[in-house]
Amino acid sequence: MPGLYIHVPFCSKRCIYCDFYSTTLGRDLRQQYTDALCREIKLYRGEELSTIYFGGGTPSQLTFLQLSQIFETIHHNFSLMSDAEITMEANPDDVTQEFIVELARLGVNRVSLGIQTFNDEHLKFLNRRHSAQEAIQAVEWIDSVGIKNISVDLIYGLPNETLEEWREDVRQALSLPITHLSSYCLMIEEGTVLFKLWEKGQVKEVEEEMELSMFQTLIEMTEREGFEHYEISNFARAGFHSQHNSRYWQGLPYIGCGPGAHGFDGRTRRSNNADLRAYIAAPGLPPHSVENLTEEERFEELVFTRMRMMQGLNLQEVPSDKRQQLLLRAKPFIDKGNLECVNNHLRLTRSGIFISDYIFSNLI
Question: Could you give the CA distance from residue 120 to residue 61 in angstroms, rounded to a whole number?
Answer: 22
Lowest-confidence segment of 26-30, 49-53, 154-158 by average pLDDT: 26-30
pLDDT digits (tens, 9 = 90+) for 145-188: 999 999 999 999 998 899 999 999 999 999 999 999 999 988 76
Residue 338, domain extent: 294-364
Check residues 126 and 339 and name the one with the higher pLDDT.
339
User: Do the domain assignments include residue 280?
Assistant: no
User: Is a pLDDT exceeding 70 seen at residue 95?
Assistant: yes
307: domain CATH number?
1.10.10
How far from the centroid of its chain's Cα atoms is residue 328's Cα? 32
pLDDT score recorded for residue 43: 96
Query: Are 80 and 229 in the same domain?
Result: yes
Amino acid present at 364: I
User: Do the domain assignments include residue 213?
Assistant: yes
Q: Mapped to the 3 state alphabet, what secondary structure does 158-196 carry? A: CCCCCHHHHHHHHHHHHCCCCCEEEEEECCCCCCCHHHH
CB 25 within 8 A of CB 60: no
Own/partner pairs, 262-269, CB within 8 angstroms, 24+ separation: 262/5, 263/5, 265/2, 267/292, 267/293, 267/298, 268/292, 268/293, 269/293
User: Do the domain assignments include residue 190?
Assistant: yes
Phi-psi region of 77 (alpha: psi -120 to 50; beta: other; left: phi over 0): alpha
pLDDT score recorded for residue 57: 82
Query: What does pLDDT average to over the chain?
Result: 92
User: Is a pLDDT exceeding 80 seen at residue 192?
Assistant: no
Lowest-confidence segment of 24-38, 185-199, 303-317, 324-338 by average pLDDT: 185-199
> Which of 194, 220, 248 is where one domain is finished?
248
Mean pLDDT of 19-23: 57
Query: Are 204 and 310 in the same domain?
Result: no
pLDDT digits (tens, 9 = 90+) for 340-353: 999 999 999 999 99
- The verdict on whether omega for the bond into residue 57 sits within 30 degrees of 0, i.e. cis, is yes
User: Do the domain assignments include residue 217?
Assistant: yes
> Which of 248, 264, 280 is where one domain is finished?
248
Question: Could you give the CA distance from residue 125 to residue 228 in angstroms, rounded to a whole number?
Answer: 31
User: Do the domain assignments include residue 348?
Assistant: yes
> Which of 189, 214, 248 is where one domain is finished?
248
User: Is a pLDDT exceeding 60 seen at residue 16?
Assistant: no
Choose among 135, 52, 55, 60: nearest CA to 98: 60
Query: Are 240 and 310 in the same domain?
Result: no
Query: Are 214 and 306 in the same domain?
Result: no
Q: How confident is the model at residue 47 (pLDDT cuts 50, 70, 90)?
A: confident
User: Do the domain assignments include residue 256?
Assistant: no
Query: Are 322 and 193 in the same domain?
Result: no
Query: Are 110 and 18 in the same domain?
Result: yes
pLDDT score recorded for residue 14: 62
Query: Are 50 and 105 in the same domain?
Result: yes
CB 352 within 8 A of CB 333: yes
Check residues 77 and 320 and name the one with the higher pLDDT.
77
pLDDT digits (tens, 9 = 90+) for 267-294: 999 999 999 999 999 988 999 999 999 9
Report how many domains make up the chain. Answer: 2
**Residue 143 — φ and ψ, nearest 5°?**
-65, -40
CB 84 within 8 A of CB 74: no
Query: Are 70 and 206 in the same domain?
Result: yes
Query: Are 229 and 303 in the same domain?
Result: no
Question: Could you give the CA distance from residue 89 to residue 111 in angstroms, rounded to a whole number?
Answer: 6
How far from the centroid of its chain's Cα atoms is residue 157's Cα? 18
Q: Please give the share of the chain, as a percent, with pLDDT higher than 70.
A: 93
Lowest-confidence segment of 9-23, 107-121, 194-208, 273-287 by average pLDDT: 9-23
221: domain CATH number?
3.20.20.70
User: Do the domain assignments include residue 279?
Assistant: no
User: Do the domain assignments include residue 298?
Assistant: yes
